[in-house]
Amino acid sequence: GNGRHHVDIITEGQPKVLDTTDQIPKLPLASWKGQGARVEKCREHFQNKFQSSPTFYVRVPGRVNLIGEHIDYCGYGVFPMAIEHDVLILGRAQVSTKAVLRLTNVEDQFEDFECSVDEIRSILRNREQGVAPSWYLYYLCGVLGTLEHMANAEGDVYLTEICVDGRVPPRAGLSSSSALVCAAALATLVAYEGTLGRKEMATICAKSERYIGTEGGGMDQAIAFMATAGTAQLIEFVPKLNGEKVVLPENAVFVIANSRAEANKAASSCYNVRVAECRSAAWIIAKLEGLPNFSEIVKLKTLQQELGLSLKEMSELVSKHLHEEPYAVDEIAQILGMDVNELKSMPLMAKINVAEVPLKLHQRAKHVFEGKAFVNSFASLTRITRTVFLEHPVKVSLLLLRLTEAERVYEFKKICELNTGEAGASNKLVELGKLMSASHSSLRDLYECSHPRLDELIGLSKPFTYGIRLTGAGWGGCVVALLDGERVQEYLQFLEKEYYEKNFGLSSFQSSVFVTQPGTGATILLG
Ligand code: ADP
Ligand code: NG1
Ligand code: MG
């Protein structure tokens, strides 16, 4: 057997959905099994706050990204899947003379909030910078996104009462923020009786979460809406948003472990600095390659397409045009032939106090491109992989280690889709694991977004896993490990003793580690 039966995989608690269209699935609440007690508790909370009963329910999952980190905002494909942990919203909307929003959260630490819908834009614009945003600001992002898009100026306005119950571990790289933003956007869509599809909602939410201050690339909102039970997805952004379903190898088990180092992305500028570094790298290469429209090219993938080059050739351009020493903003301005104040006042640059951070353009671009790959295309790579797989697994490993983060995503998908008979079931896990660990090394060394706790957790885990890496933005949060089912129990017991009990005490393990499988995306539940 493949060992799956040894593992307690949570399959309850997710609506059973047929995922064949772009429509956001609508189901009767009663068909959502295993959540009765949770829904009841939320309904009570709702009743106590608002003296009324909810009329609609939406749930949006968090996600784990298996490979392809910090490249969505460069325009490259990523490989996430939804997890079973979600944000559940209970709502009621009533036609009113004034559009008002009332928010409550089942957890006491998240205070109630009320505002007029007309104020939302200015509340978000005037939010305090450099501190962790209040929880309701994420909610307001979602509301604003949907309402902007519906632009239903003539229509009815509503008093909306909302109760939030989020179960995605927050500040842990599993995208609790996007689950909340997307759930808020979806609740607003239901309240205002809109009918947008999954991709449209994903695009709207990717944009509107930026009101919180971080310039995200869109992976989290895409998988939140487009996820399908049983499959991970290769998500592409250029030329347009697209998700390709990929079945993971049957014997693969993904374990998520929270390092318990919290990373609040909107409270620091780490994330935006990386986005700015990648943009500056794209501008400089575009300028030095003589592209007249260089300042309009903000994504490395767009640059690659404009230049018509392979990833390998892009890597060569990084070596040619970007030095390893960090850049100061003045130097970037000088290369671009721009006034330094103009550069400093560009939207993203102004946010990160660009004068104070050393910008490592070479290293960040190398994470995306560098890999000394000796093949030019994925097609030939896969042919080689296929041929070499059977006889020389070691050589294949060397080849895979040379891939770039952008390529690793495609290679991961290809290996998942290899015929198991041909490749050998455990060979597949070996090669997938190598890709994951190579991704982590690159994130740690070139992208510098790991954390001592993450590296400690990874060091301890190595002997039990085929591969392991940080997931999400990093600087704390979770790792995702690939194992086969046979070793999971042994690994979990080891982690409990050697990482959690030692560092955080007896009860810390339970809420920090879980075995996961690809879950369902955003769903509307009608009560
Ligand atoms: P991540 O997306 O990796 O979980 P972020 O720092 O991007 O981390 O977002 C975390 C923030 O999202 C929290 O600090 C909180 O403001 C908000 N949030 C997450 N879960 C909830 C929840 N259940 N209720 C209210 N707010 C939440
Ligand atoms: P988290 O871990 O949710 O902060 C962020 C971005 C993603 C992506 C990853 C890194 C947001 C909402 N999410 O995820 O777009 O860039 O980091 O791969 O900004
Ligand atoms: Mg987030």
Distance separating alpha carbons of residues 465 and 452, to the nearest angstrom: 19
Ligand 2 mutation target, pool 67, 168, 175, 440, most atoms within 8 A of CB: 175
264 lines ligand 1 (CB under 6 A): yes
Catalytic residue among 220, 330, 455, 484: 220
Length of the chain: 527
68 lines ligand 2 (CB under 6 A): no
Look-up: residue for tokens 């772009």?
22
175 lines ligand 2 (CB under 6 A): yes
Highest mean pLDDT among 381-390, 420-429, 499-508: 499-508
- Reply yes or no on whether the pLDDT at 39 is more than 50: yes
What would the mean pLDDT of 496-521 be, rounded to a whole number? 95
CA angle 138–14–31, rounded 5-degree value: 115
Distance 268 CA to ligand 3 centre (A): 12
Between residues 476 and 267, which one has the greater pLDDT? 476
What would the mean pLDDT of 320-334 be, rounded to a whole number? 96
Confidence (pTM): 0.92
What would the mean pLDDT of 337-359 be, rounded to a whole number? 87
Amino acid letter at 500?
Answer: Y
Nearest atom in ligand 1 to the alpha carbon of residue 170 is: 4
Residue nearest to atom 21 of ligand 1 (CA): 166
What is residue 129's predicted lDDT score, i.e. its pLDDT? 84
DSSP codes joined into one string, 7-31: S----TTS------SSSPPEEEGGG
pLDDT tens, position by position, 446-501: 999 999 999 999 999 999 999 999 999 999 999 999 999 999 999 999 999 999 99
142 lines ligand 1 (CB under 6 A): no
pLDDT tens, position by position, 151-179: 666 778 899 999 999 999 999 999 999 99
Give the pLDDT band of residue 427 (cuts 50, 70, 90): confident
Do residues 336 and 281 make contact, with C-beta atoms less than 8 angstroms apart?
no
Structure-block tokens of residue 72 = 């969505």
pLDDT tens, position by position, 2-35: 333 333 333 456 666 655 689 999 999 988 888 9
What is residue 390's predicted lDDT score, i.e. its pLDDT? 53
What mean pLDDT, rounded, does the chain reach? 90
- Reply yes or no on whether the pLDDT at 387 is more than 80: no
Between residues 514 and 155, which one has the greater pLDDT? 514
177 lines ligand 2 (CB under 6 A): yes
CA-based nearest residue to 500, from 486, 487, 517, 514 = 514
CA-based nearest residue to 31, from 17, 12, 43, 15 = 15
Distance 399 CA to ligand 1 centre (A): 38
Nearest atom in ligand 2 to the alpha carbon of residue 175 is: 3
Examine the predicted complex and report whether its ipTM is higher than 0.85: yes
What is residue 422's predicted lDDT score, i.e. its pLDDT? 67
Using DSSP's 3-state secondary structure scheme, residue 519 falls into coil
What would the mean pLDDT of 130-154 be, rounded to a whole number? 90
Phi and psi at 69, nearest 5°, equal -105, 140
Torsion sign across C-alpha atoms 494, 499, 505, 507? negative
What would the mean pLDDT of 402-419 be, rounded to a whole number? 90
Distance 518 CA to ligand 1 centre (A): 21
CA-based nearest residue to 193, from 233, 262, 146, 141 = 146
Distance separating alpha carbons of residues 13 and 25, to the nearest angstrom: 16
What is residue 96's predicted lDDT score, i.e. its pLDDT? 94
What is residue 200's predicted lDDT score, i.e. its pLDDT? 96
Nearest atom in ligand 1 to the alpha carbon of residue 132 is: 14
With a pLDDT cut of 90, the percent of the chain lying above it is: 78
What would the mean pLDDT of 506-511 be, rounded to a whole number? 92
